[in-house]
Amino acid sequence: MTHDMVRPGGRTARVREAVLRAAGDLLAEGGLDHLDLGEVARRAEVGRTTVYRRWGTPAVLVADLLAEMAETSLPRTETGSLLGDLTANARLVQRTLADPRQGALFKALIAAATCDARTAEALHRFYEIRIDEWAPCVAAAVERGELPAGTDAREVVRAVSAPLYYRLLASGDPVDEAAADRAARAAVAAATAGAYGPTRC
């Protein structure tokens, strides 16, 4: 192990950053079919051997990109109210999906996950981490008595993102700020009414 490999800001970290940046650009431009490791090396200005030795296949590279995206995602915003917090979450997701590069990248990652189990696993892990990051704002609302006891915090967070992804991937309706704000309002209303509480038998 070289000295660089244990220093976070060292050459190894810089190489990873450049390679994942190039991989993300290629995915956003043309999807998984476009993700050629030689081209990644060229764009990242890194030796081909380094890229092939460290990542080996496009699927491994995509999984590492998703891991990095989870690591570097923004922490949640704390506004003091559930509607404020979930609106902040919805707008963050909306801005990401509406951004030309990021939106195309997410489409490519989701498409890649439909036909590769390893990519699907990395994608699910990414959402698991993001949901874990935001779930405490729902738990806090339960503690404040804004939501019924037993509310499934993670399901409320999923409910905020779901309408935005449905528009992006299925119906094609615009992923705009109005859709984000409505997603947050709907999740709060449904949670308040107990729709994410323990299932009644």
Q: What gap in Å lies between CA 197 and CA 151, rounded to an integer? A: 4
145 lies in the site for a second copy, by CB under 8 A: no
Exposure of 127 by Cβ count < 10 A (0-12 exposed, 13-18 middle, 19+ buried)?
A: middle
Cβ proximity to a second copy, 18 vs 186, nearer residue: 186
Q: What gap in Å lies between CA 19 and CA 130, rounded to an integer? A: 23
111 lies in the site for a second copy, by CB under 8 A: yes
Which region, judged by CB under 8 A, interacts with a second copy, from 13-21, 49-57, 111-119, 143-151? 111-119
Exposure of 17 by Cβ count < 10 A (0-12 exposed, 13-18 middle, 19+ buried)?
A: middle
Among 10, 30, 38, 56, binds a second copy (CB under 8 A): 30
- In the complex, the residues that contact a second copy under the rule CB under 8 A are 30-31, 33, 107-108, 110-111, 113-115, 120-121, 123-124, 127-128, 131, 155, 158-159, 161-163, 165-167, 169-173, 178, 181-182, 185-190, 192-196, 199
